[in-house]
Amino acid sequence: MRFLIDENLSPTLVDIARELGYEAMAVRDLGLLNAKDWTLLEKIQNEDWTLVTNNIGEFRKRYARKATMHAGAVFLVDVDAGRDVQRSAFAAALVEIGANPDLVNLELLVEPEGGGFRARRRRLP
Protein backbone atom coordinates (compact mmCIF):
# COMPACT_ATOMS: atom_id res chain seq x y z
CA MET A 1 0.00 0.00 0.00
CA ARG A 2 1.26 3.46 -0.93
CA PHE A 3 0.14 6.60 0.87
CA LEU A 4 0.25 10.08 -0.62
CA ILE A 5 0.00 12.72 2.12
CA ASP A 6 -1.85 15.82 0.96
CA GLU A 7 -0.22 19.24 1.35
CA ASN A 8 -2.76 20.31 3.99
CA LEU A 9 -1.38 17.70 6.41
CA SER A 10 1.94 17.42 8.20
CA PRO A 11 4.63 15.70 6.12
CA THR A 12 5.62 13.87 9.33
CA LEU A 13 2.75 11.47 8.57
CA VAL A 14 5.11 9.97 6.00
CA ASP A 15 7.40 8.84 8.82
CA ILE A 16 4.57 7.10 10.69
CA ALA A 17 3.62 5.09 7.60
CA ARG A 18 7.22 4.19 6.77
CA GLU A 19 7.90 3.01 10.34
CA LEU A 20 5.14 0.44 9.80
CA GLY A 21 6.56 -0.70 6.48
CA TYR A 22 4.32 1.24 4.12
CA GLU A 23 5.50 3.33 1.21
CA ALA A 24 4.58 6.98 1.72
CA MET A 25 5.35 10.37 0.19
CA ALA A 26 4.20 13.90 0.85
CA VAL A 27 2.72 15.82 -2.07
CA ARG A 28 5.49 18.41 -1.79
CA ASP A 29 8.17 15.71 -2.18
CA LEU A 30 6.69 14.71 -5.54
CA GLY A 31 6.80 18.29 -6.83
CA LEU A 32 3.02 18.62 -6.58
CA LEU A 33 2.79 21.40 -4.00
CA ASN A 34 -0.09 23.70 -5.02
CA ALA A 35 -1.10 21.30 -7.82
CA LYS A 36 -4.74 21.38 -8.84
CA ASP A 37 -6.89 18.63 -7.32
CA TRP A 38 -7.52 16.97 -10.68
CA THR A 39 -3.75 16.83 -11.35
CA LEU A 40 -3.23 15.20 -7.98
CA LEU A 41 -6.06 12.72 -8.60
CA GLU A 42 -4.54 11.78 -11.95
CA LYS A 43 -1.23 11.00 -10.22
CA ILE A 44 -3.05 9.01 -7.53
CA GLN A 45 -5.02 7.06 -10.11
CA ASN A 46 -2.10 6.33 -12.43
CA GLU A 47 0.30 5.25 -9.69
CA ASP A 48 -2.06 3.51 -7.21
CA TRP A 49 -1.56 5.91 -4.32
CA THR A 50 -4.00 5.98 -1.41
CA LEU A 51 -4.66 9.64 -0.69
CA VAL A 52 -4.50 10.85 2.92
CA THR A 53 -6.19 14.24 3.34
CA ASN A 54 -8.46 16.29 5.55
CA ASN A 55 -9.99 17.98 2.49
CA ILE A 56 -12.99 15.68 2.47
CA GLY A 57 -15.49 17.87 0.63
CA GLU A 58 -13.33 18.52 -2.40
CA PHE A 59 -11.90 15.05 -2.85
CA ARG A 60 -15.14 13.21 -2.20
CA LYS A 61 -16.74 15.19 -5.01
CA ARG A 62 -13.83 14.51 -7.32
CA TYR A 63 -13.74 10.77 -6.54
CA ALA A 64 -17.50 10.63 -7.18
CA ARG A 65 -16.86 11.77 -10.75
CA LYS A 66 -14.30 9.05 -11.39
CA ALA A 67 -15.71 5.91 -12.95
CA THR A 68 -12.65 3.70 -12.62
CA MET A 69 -11.17 1.75 -9.77
CA HIS A 70 -8.85 3.52 -7.32
CA ALA A 71 -6.66 2.62 -4.32
CA GLY A 72 -8.92 4.37 -1.82
CA ALA A 73 -8.70 7.45 0.37
CA VAL A 74 -8.09 8.16 4.04
CA PHE A 75 -10.06 11.17 5.23
CA LEU A 76 -8.93 12.64 8.55
CA VAL A 77 -11.88 14.61 9.96
CA ASP A 78 -11.40 17.62 12.26
CA VAL A 79 -7.62 17.36 12.42
CA ASP A 80 -6.75 20.97 11.62
CA ALA A 81 -5.61 21.43 15.24
CA GLY A 82 -1.99 20.60 14.53
CA ARG A 83 0.60 17.99 13.80
CA ASP A 84 0.13 15.87 16.94
CA VAL A 85 -3.61 15.52 16.34
CA GLN A 86 -2.97 14.63 12.70
CA ARG A 87 -0.40 12.03 13.72
CA SER A 88 -2.82 10.44 16.21
CA ALA A 89 -5.61 10.31 13.64
CA PHE A 90 -3.35 8.76 11.00
CA ALA A 91 -2.04 6.22 13.52
CA ALA A 92 -5.66 5.15 14.14
CA ALA A 93 -6.13 4.80 10.37
CA LEU A 94 -3.03 2.62 10.10
CA VAL A 95 -4.29 0.33 12.88
CA GLU A 96 -7.51 -0.19 10.93
CA ILE A 97 -5.62 -0.70 7.67
CA GLY A 98 -3.29 -3.18 9.37
CA ALA A 99 -6.33 -5.29 10.27
CA ASN A 100 -7.67 -5.16 6.70
CA PRO A 101 -5.49 -3.48 4.05
CA ASP A 102 -8.04 -3.55 1.23
CA LEU A 103 -9.20 0.01 0.52
CA VAL A 104 -9.98 -0.41 -3.18
CA ASN A 105 -12.81 2.02 -4.02
CA LEU A 106 -13.28 2.75 -0.31
CA GLU A 107 -12.79 5.68 1.97
CA LEU A 108 -11.50 5.28 5.48
CA LEU A 109 -13.13 8.01 7.52
CA VAL A 110 -11.20 8.80 10.72
CA GLU A 111 -13.13 10.93 13.21
CA PRO A 112 -12.56 12.08 16.80
CA GLU A 113 -14.34 9.94 19.35
CA GLY A 114 -14.03 9.79 23.14
CA GLY A 115 -10.59 11.38 23.34
CA GLY A 116 -9.24 9.22 20.52
CA PHE A 117 -10.20 8.43 16.94
CA ARG A 118 -12.62 6.02 15.29
CA ALA A 119 -11.96 4.67 11.80
CA ARG A 120 -14.74 3.33 9.62
CA ARG A 121 -14.89 2.28 5.99
CA ARG A 122 -17.39 3.49 3.44
CA ARG A 123 -17.77 2.78 -0.23
CA LEU A 124 -16.67 5.61 -2.49
CA PRO A 125 -18.59 5.98 -5.73
Cα distances (angstroms) measured from residue 22 to each of 42, 64, 104: 21, 26, 16
Range of the domain at 95: 2-123
Give the per-residue pLDDT at 93.
97
pLDDT value of position 63: 67
> How many structural domains are present in the chain?
1
pLDDT, averaged in runs of 10, over the chain (125 residues): 94 96 94 83 89 84 67 87 90 96 92 94 82
pLDDT of residue 91: 96
